[in-house]
């Protein structure tokens, strides 16, 4: 099969690799019909996170059709159309029972193999899915494939971010970063009743889309976000800030925008060694700080109905739709934010649709 594989810093190849096979009776093999490049993929791409094996198939966002099943798989059938979260989960351990499926005791992240261990990713023609019964979700009628692709990661992550932020209709919320996850956080905050959302970024196209989705845009290169937010809150600051970028500067900005007693929800993958604020600063602000990986599998099914309803809007997050074979070039486009690139959808082989 063909896959997009990692070969060092800023080096992605489209190449032939061995087909995956059943390795455990709980496995499924999925023929990928659509996959996507995520902002998290840029961490190994730029080697901000080191240790990824050369030759590892990239990606953790994919949908497709079940084509092979292990003998112990009970709930799936050959031919099922399925969507997948970005991590596997058993559904039975201490963490899964509490909804923290991203920390499953047996869970693994797609697209991360180190020293020969781990899972290949979904930017490929086929992918092996361990713990298939509890990991995969059938795509129901009425849910477009592209929207299902979003549910496996960024839509669930945006909702998780807003959920952590304790959204209230009478409060002022701020989203720091208007990339794909930031837009999903805006959508989710609206679902949870938010009426007053500010969205901060510097890219005009992203700010324009944030405005379309119901937020008040702030271009931090042209105006002071702190002054704008404080003027809307009688000088206090935001009741909740959702930080989706994952950088020290974004974290610091989010902290400074927050009022005393406010909630800071962070889902951006940050590889800095230290937080952007000190313990005493957090203490002096009576800060509620929540951070971590989204338990996407926990959220996917509960978000199906609103995702069907708003599918047309949600799918506009895909700015580029290209064949998998063009993946190496579009990693560069995505990383450089060229061509107003917001999110790239990839289709393997003959599955590409114009």
Here the CATH number for the domain that contains residue 337 is 3.90.180.10
Please tell me whether residues 255 and 142 are part of one structural domain.
no
Residue 354 has pLDDT above 50, yes or no: no
- Average pLDDT (212-238) is 97
Provide mean pLDDT across the span 316-333: 98
Residues 282 and 309 in one domain: no
- Last residue of one domain, picked from the residues 271, 291, 311: 291
Please tell me whether residues 131 and 173 are part of one structural domain. Answer: no
Last residue of a domain, one of 240, 262, 291: 291
Task: Say whether both 147 and 205 belong to one domain.
Answer: no
Is there a contact between 271 and 43 (Cβ–Cβ < 8 Å)?
yes
Non-local (6+) Cβ contacts of 174 within 8 A are: 197, 198, 199, 200, 225, 229, 238, 240, 241, 242, 254, 257
Position 353 confidence tier, pLDDT thresholds 50, 70, 90: very low
Higher-confidence position of 170 and 76: 76
Average pLDDT over residues 161-187: 95
What is the pLDDT, as a whole number, of residue 49? 83
Cα–Cα distances in Å, from 14 out to 4, 128, 316? Answer: 5, 19, 26
Quick one: pLDDT band at residue 351, thresholds 50, 70, 90?
Answer: very low
Q: What is the domain count for the chain?
A: 2
Helix H or strand E encompassing 284: helix 279-284
Same domain, 262 and 207: yes
Range of the structural domain that residue 344 is part of: 2-153+296-351
CATH of the domain at 221: 3.40.50.720
Question: Order of strands, edge to edge, in the sheet holding 197-201?
Answer: 216-219, 197-201, 173-176, 238-243, 258-266, 288-291
Q: Could you tell me the pLDDT band of residue 167, with boundaries at 50, 70 and 90?
A: confident
At 55-97, the pLDDT tens digits run 999 999 999 999 999 999 999 999 999 999 999 999 999 999 9
- pLDDT for 348 equals 96
Co-location of 321 and 266 in the same domain = no
Using 50, 70 and 90 to split pLDDT, how confident is the model at 258? very high
Same-domain check for residues 166 and 135: no
Instruction: With cut-offs at 50, 70 and 90, classify the pLDDT of residue 352.
Output: very low
């Amino acid at each position: 099969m063909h896959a997009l594989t990692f070969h060092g810093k800023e080096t992605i190849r489209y190449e032939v690799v061995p087909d995956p096979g059943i390795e455990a009776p709980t496995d499924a093999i999925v023929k990928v019909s659509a996959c996507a490049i995520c902002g998290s993929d840029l961490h190994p791409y730029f080697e901000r996170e080191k240790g990824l094996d050369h030759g590892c198939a990239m990606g953790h966002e994919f949908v497709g059709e079940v084509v092979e099943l292990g003998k112990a798989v009970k709930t799936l059938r050959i031919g099922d159309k399925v969507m997948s979260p970005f991590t596997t989960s058993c559904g039975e351990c201490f963490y899964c029972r509490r909804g923290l499926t991203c920390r499953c005791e047996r869970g693994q992240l797609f697209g991360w193999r180190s020293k020969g261990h781990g899972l290949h990713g979904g930017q490929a023609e086929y992918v092996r899915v361990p713990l298939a019964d509890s990991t995969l979700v059938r795509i129901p009628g009425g849910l477009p494939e592209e929207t299902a692709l979003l549910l496996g990661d960024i839509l669930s992550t945006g909702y998780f971010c807003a959920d952590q932020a304790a959204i209230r209709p009478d409060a002022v919320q701020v989203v720091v970063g208007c990339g794909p996850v930031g837009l999903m956080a805006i959508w989710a905050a609206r679902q949870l009743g938010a009426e007053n959302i500010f969205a901060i970024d510097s890219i005009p196209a992203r700010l324009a889309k944030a405005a379309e989705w119901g937020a008040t845009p702030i271009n931090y290169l042209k105006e002071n976000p702190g002054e704008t937010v404080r003027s809307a809150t009688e000088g206090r600051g935001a009741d909740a800030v959702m930080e989706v970028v994952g950088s020290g500067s974004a974290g610091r900005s989010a902290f400074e925008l927050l009022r005393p007693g406010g909630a800071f929800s962070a889902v951006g993958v940050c590889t800095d060694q230290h937080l952007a604020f000190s313990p005493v600063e957090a203490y002096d602000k009576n800060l509620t700080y929540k951070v971590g990986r989204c338990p996407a599998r926990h959220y996917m099914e509960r978000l199906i109905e609103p995702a069907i309803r708003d599918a047309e809007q949600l799918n506009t997050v895909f700015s580029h739709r290209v064949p998998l074979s063009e993946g190496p070039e579009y990693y560069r486009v995505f990383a450089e934010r060229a061509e107003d690139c917001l999110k790239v959808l990839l289709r393997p082989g003959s599955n590409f649709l114009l």
